[in-house]
Amino acid sequence: MTTPPLNNRTSGMIGSKRCAFGLLVVASVLMASCASVRLDEDIADYADAIEDLERQAVRAPDDARPLRDLGVIYVRTSDFARANEKLQLAFSRNSDDPKTLFYLGLTNETLGREQTALQLFERYPEFSLLNPYRRLMAGRYAFIQRKTVREAMLQRVTNETDLVAEGVDPRVVAVYPLTYQGADEQYAALGRGLAELLSIDLGHIEALQLVERVRLQTLLDEINLAGSEYFDPVSAPRVGLLVGAGRLIGGVYNVLGDDLQLDAALWEVERADVADLGTRTGALSTLFDLEKELVFSALAEMGIEPTEEERRRIDFVPTQNLQAFLAFSRGLEREDAGAFDEAASFYGQAVELDPTFRQASQRAEEVEGQAEVSGDLSTALEAAYGQDPFPPLPVGIDLLGNRLLHLNIGVGSNVVPGVDPREGASEAALGGAAIGRLPDPPKPPPGNN
Max avg pLDDT among 31-40, 160-169, 270-279, 399-408: 270-279
Domains and CATH numbers, the chain: 60-154 (1.25.40.10), 165-317 (3.40.50.10610)
Q: Report phi then psi at 273, rounded to 5.
A: -130, 140
Q: Which residue has the higher pLDDT, 345 or 219?
A: 345
> Which residues are bridge partners to 266 per DSSP?
249, 275
> Alpha-carbon distance 5 to 449, whole Å?
34
Q: Is the pLDDT of residue 37 over 50?
A: no
Q: Which residue has the higher pLDDT, 415 or 165?
A: 165
Position 15 scores a pLDDT of 37
Position 400 scores a pLDDT of 41
Q: Are 208 and 202 in contact (CB under 8 A)?
A: yes
Position 230 scores a pLDDT of 59
How sure is the predictor about 236, in pLDDT bands with cuts at 50, 70 and 90? confident
How sure is the predictor about 203, in pLDDT bands with cuts at 50, 70 and 90? very high
> Alpha-carbon distance 226 to 247, whole Å?
19
Long-range CB contacts for residues 415-423, cutoff 8 Å, separation at least 24: 416/9, 416/10, 416/14, 416/19, 416/441, 416/442, 417/6, 417/9, 418/8, 418/9, 419/8, 419/9, 423/395
How sure is the predictor about 222, in pLDDT bands with cuts at 50, 70 and 90? confident
Q: Which residue has the higher pLDDT, 349 or 221?
A: 349
Mean pLDDT, residues 405-418 taken together: 37
Q: Is the pLDDT of residue 428 over 70?
A: no
Q: Is the pLDDT of residue 351 over 70?
A: yes
Mean pLDDT, residues 108-119 taken together: 92
Q: Is the pLDDT of residue 237 over 90?
A: no
How sure is the predictor about 5, in pLDDT bands with cuts at 50, 70 and 90? very low
Which distant-in-sequence residues (6+ apart) come within 8 Å of 128 by Cβ? 134
Q: Report phi then psi at 184, rounded to 5.
A: -80, 110
How sure is the predictor about 417, in pLDDT bands with cuts at 50, 70 and 90? very low
pTM for this model (two decimals): 0.69
Q: Would you report the helix, strand and coil content of the chain in percent, each value rounded to 5?
A: 55, 10, 35
> Alpha-carbon distance 426 to 444, whole Å?
34
pLDDT by residue (tens digit) across 124-148? 999 998 898 998 999 999 899 888 8
Using alpha carbons, select from 110, 41, 111 the residue that is nearest to residue 74. 41
pLDDT by residue (tens digit) across 76-88? 888 999 999 999 9
Q: Is the pLDDT of residue 329 over 80?
A: yes
Q: What separation in angstroms does the CA of 10 have from each of 4, 169, 420?
A: 17, 76, 14
Q: Which residue has the higher pLDDT, 437 or 61?
A: 61
Q: In this structure, what is the dihedral angle of CA atoms 223, 228, 231, 236, given to the nearest 10 degrees?
A: -30
Using alpha carbons, select from 73, 143, 66, 74 the residue that is nearest to residue 97. 66
Q: Which residue has the higher pLDDT, 18 or 256?
A: 256
Q: Which residue has the higher pLDDT, 255 or 235?
A: 255
Q: Is the pLDDT of residue 423 over 80?
A: no
Max avg pLDDT among 349-363, 365-379, 424-438: 349-363
Q: Which residue has the higher pLDDT, 399 or 318?
A: 318
Q: Are 288 and 272 in contact (CB under 8 A)?
A: no
Which distant-in-sequence residues (6+ apart) come within 8 Å of 49 by Cβ? 69, 73, 392, 393, 394, 395, 425, 428, 429
Position 165 scores a pLDDT of 64
How sure is the predictor about 198, in pLDDT bands with cuts at 50, 70 and 90? very high
Q: Which residue has the higher pLDDT, 197 or 420?
A: 197
Max avg pLDDT among 2-6, 13-17, 196-200, 235-239: 196-200
